[in-house]
Amino acid sequence: MFKLSKLLKNCVKVPTRPLLKSEGGCCVVLLQRNYSKDNKFNIKDDAFEGRPLYLDAQATTPMDPRVLDAMLPYLTNYYGNPHSRTHAYGWESEAAMEKARAQIANLIGADPKEIIFTSGATESNNISVKGVGRFYKEKKNHVITTQTEHKCVLDSCRALEGEGLDVTYLPVKSNGIIDLNELEKAITPKTSLVSVMTVNNEIGVIQPIAEIGAMCRAKKVFFHTDAAQAVGKIPLDVNKMNIDLMSISGHKIYGPKGVGALFVRRRPRVRVEAIQSGGGQERGLRSGTVPTPLVVGLGAACELAQQEMEFDHAWMEFLSKRLIDKIMTALPQGVGRFYKEKKNHVITTQTEHKCVLDSCRALEGEGLDVTYLPVKSNGIIDLNELEKAITPKTSLVSVMTVNNEIGVIQPIAEIGAMCRAKKVFFHTDAAQAVGKIPLDVNKMNIDLMSISGHKIYGPKGVGALFVRRRPRVRVEAIQSGGGQERGLRSGTVPTPLVVGLGAACELAQQEMEFDHAWMEFLSKRLIDKIMTALPQVIRNGDPEKTYPGCVNLSFAFVEGESLLMALKDIALSSGSACTSASLEPSYVLRAIGTDEDLAHSSIRFGIGRFTTIEEVDYTAEKCIKHVQRLREMSPLWEMVQEGIDIKSIQWSQH
């Protein structure tokens, strides 16, 4: 580090950090406090008058206004889902996501392909400790950590102990540093992972990370470090330090809350078992839509930290010494899983979102029985079949309110009443329904409800879960940590995001009636225009029991991917963004009996609050034009025009 004397000419005065300027017109500025002659801090901002000084930077840091500047375009104009591979909105967001990945990698000396986005260090630590421990447990069932780790690491280790793994909790010396000799003695041929925090969040000690890494590499043991309090504050290089997994937090380095990252080494490869089921994003390690604004903010925060680390370190060194000197001179020192033993049966449908289906498959792997109910050709569940499927061993029924691909609305109130009568808990994935159709958890007897922020014009990276208190639903947490959110979801709650989610819900409640009528009008206009002009267009799902904002059409004798490419100036998809990278036909359409050709020819039109009549008309006209053009190129369509029944033809195989 450079000498502070070069920066400060007179250390008796309180030094002032150079004022940080934001380039994007950000409305938030860093709070400046001046030390006045009457020994009081004056705050140069009326909005902050009367607020206390903030000296809790290990808990969280204020967002740097330059970080917010980087995020703002992705909170407003560039709102595409980064996993939508079929249109420019998705590509823009994906490019921003990959840039952020590179910024994080540059800070720690990693390859961008080794960076996995998470919701924060708590989740990164859970994935690392549980993921490695579980993957290697058959051959190596021993994990080592210290007694002074963050609670999420300690609780993750205790969870592994409950699964039959052995964990060694090493003591530290009186100065808080690990004893390397004790670590070496603790490592055995059965050890899969050593997890040691870089900088302790309570006392700030820095562990000998490079030495631990070298020891682990020599003994062929993976090394994870929780670097939430270290990244961007002290120099770190994952390759020089032989780190295999590293947890990173956004809000600890003047970035946004609700986002983090996990470095996972590719060579030598670290195999990790995912702890969350879903669409397989982030190399299959962390399913869920990556929140573009948040990862952009995290990337910007990492880039700024890399640029300013030297100054920041010297500045904090100066201030902490001043604080300590002054004080010490004056004072003397001084659910599925929860109920599985009694009820080991879960029921869901074949058309649920992939995260629900994958979660059910995970439960099957743990010995639970799962019934995947088929749906009728209109996409609606058969209530008689559901009733037959419920047994005394059934703990949960999970049915999506509005399907994300075909928009059908399930009979939630009837399902809820049936489950309540049979004393079975009822969960509904209402991500596509909350704020769009009227829902009442009490009238509908819903016990658990999933909510997503970015589906209702709110921020990405935040959601909510309704968990009924009476009758009480007991749920086993899947993430270990500080026990926030009634112990069900550990990790720092990202205040800006939950404020945004709350505001989005309030607006949805106020505008639901108008929004619904508007989308009903637009969807009818779109469908009428297309189906009047084009023959052999099939609407998938029940036309009467469907949320109007989701229109799924199959265009016979047209390849859906070809149509999407032809309509490249319109952001459309052929199904869920979570599976848009797959060339397989939609499993939802197959579940309702759609043949493979029609499933491949389907397009999903998503109409929203801000969609205009002009946009709908333009989409219909373009769609009609390109379907006609593509059909003219199809020999099958020519045969149909000549009156030949395609299905009656016996095709020879070569």
Q: Which residues contact 300 (CB under 8 A, 6 or more apart)?
A: 64, 66, 67, 70, 71, 100, 103, 255
Least confident of 93-102, 184-193, 378-387, 569-578: 569-578
Q: Does residue 247 lie within any of the structural domains?
A: yes
**pLDDT the model gives residue 581:** 54
Q: Which two tokens stand for residue 173?
A: 């010396």
Q: Do 299 and 365 have their domain in common? A: no
pLDDT band at 4 (very low <50, low <70, confident <90, very high): very low
Angle (CA) 416 381 389, round 5°: 70
pLDDT for 288 beyond 50: yes
d(CA 487, CA 276): 17
Q: Who has greater pLDDT, 420 or 54?
A: 420
Question: Do residues 193 and 292 share a domain?
Answer: yes
Q: Which of 30-34, 129-133, 523-527 has the lowest mean pLDDT?
A: 30-34
Q: Looking at the structure, do residues 140 and 243 belong to the same domain, yes or no?
A: yes
Look at residue 51 and tell me if it is in a domain: no
Query: CA–CA separation, 586 vs 19, rounded Å?
Result: 53
Is the pLDDT at 572 greater than 60, yes or no? yes
pLDDT of res. 301: 97
Say what the alpha-carbon torsion angle 66, 67, 73, 74 is, to the nearest 10 degrees: 180
User: For residue 400, what are the domain limits?
Assistant: 345-476+489-503
Burial (CB count <10 Å: 0-12, 13-18, 19+), residue 206: middle
Q: Is residue 516 in a domain?
A: yes
CATH number at residue 170: 3.40.640.10
Catalytic hit among 152, 302, 578, 623: 578
Q: What confidence tier does 597 reach under pLDDT thresholds 50, 70, 90? A: confident
Q: Is 365 exposed, middle or buried (0-12, 13-18, 19+ CB in 10 A)?
A: exposed
Q: What is the mean pLDDT of residues 436-446?
A: 97
Radius of gyration of the chain (CA): 28
From 314, 329, 363, the end of a domain falls on: 314
Residue 300 lies in a domain: yes
Residues 388 and 421 both lie in one domain: yes
Same domain, 369 and 493: yes
Q: What CATH number corresponds to the domain at position 587?
A: 3.90.1150.10
* Mean pLDDT value across residues 425-444: 97
Number of helices (H), then strands (E), in the chain: 16, 18
In a domain, 570, yes or no: yes
pLDDT at position 478, please? 85
- How do residues 21-50 score in pLDDT, each as one tens digit? 444 433 333 444 444 444 444 445 555 556
Mean pLDDT of the chain: 89
Asked whether residue 523 is assigned to any structural domain, the reply reads yes
Distance CA 454, CA 461 (A): 8
In a domain, 50, yes or no: no
For residues 133 and 246, membership in a common domain is answered with yes
- In this structure, the answer to whether residues 526 and 496 fall within a common structural domain is no
Are 533 and 497 contained in the same domain?
A: no
148-170 residues labelled b (16+ CB within 10 A) or e (exposed): bbbebbbbbbebbeeeebebbeb
Burial class (CB in 10 A: 0-12, 13-18, 19+), 468: middle
Name the residue among 80, 63, 79, 78 with its Cα closest to residue 26.
63
Same domain for 522 and 496, yes or no, is no
Question: Does 15 reside within a domain?
Answer: no
List the end-to-end C-alpha distance of the chain, in Å, as a whole number: 72
What pLDDT digit, counting tens, does each position of 189-236 carry?
A: 999 999 999 999 999 999 999 999 999 999 999 999 999 999 999 999
241, 145: one domain: yes
Question: In this structure, are 217 and 362 located in the same domain?
Answer: no
Tell me the pLDDT tens digit for each residue of 464-477. Answer: 999 999 999 999 88
Give me the pLDDT at residue 576, please: 53
Q: How many domains does the chain have?
A: 3
Whether residue 571 contacts residue 80, with contact meaning beta carbons closer than 8 Å, is answered with: yes
Residue 144 has pLDDT above 90, yes or no: yes
11 has catalytic annotation: no
**Domain identity same for 524 and 497:** no
Q: Which of the four pLDDT bands, split at 50, 70 and 90, describes residue 177?
A: very high
C-alpha dist (Å) from residue 55 to 61, 65, 203, 314: 9, 19, 14, 17
